[in-house]
Amino acid sequence: MAFFRTNVSLLNTFAIMGTIKVNNIKLYAYHGCLDEEAKIGSEYRVDLKVNANLQKSSETDDLADTVDYVHLNHIVKEEMAIRSKLLEEVAARILVRILKEIQLVKKVRISVAKINPPIGGNVEEVAIVLRKKRKD
């Protein structure tokens, strides 16, 4: 019994860090350097991975105490609707906004892929992957 009590008290001294993934967000947007891309657009896929302290939500079972993936999806959709020439720029905007709006998030990883890009070849997708972490 003493061993169990000791382990429980140790659990309470450490934060439960976790990962929330929102994968395969499919969108249609108008990013790219070509005039044609601004007119006809392309299909995109976004994958998000956020790391956060999930200690409180694991104890309370309350949505207000965790990272709401609906909020993450909303940020992605809004930022993807704003035209950018480069995928790097739109991905960076998403990263910054997530860290600004969701204080629980410590690190974010995003992949933005353009499906069937117009690059003169048979290419399934091109993707950019960016990471950002909160400065403590």
pLDDT in tens, 3-53: 444 455 555 667 889 999 999 999 999 998 888 888 999 999 999 999 999
Residue 5 within any structural domain of the chain: no
The residues near 130 (Cβ < 8 Å, ≥ 6 apart) are 88, 91, 92, 95, 109, 110
Residue 65 within any structural domain of the chain: yes
Taking residues 68-96, report their average pLDDT: 97
pLDDT band for position 99 (50/70/90)? very high
Residue 60 within any structural domain of the chain: yes
The total domain count for the chain is 1
Residue 63 within any structural domain of the chain: yes
Residue 100 within any structural domain of the chain: yes
Residues of the domain holding 32: 15-133
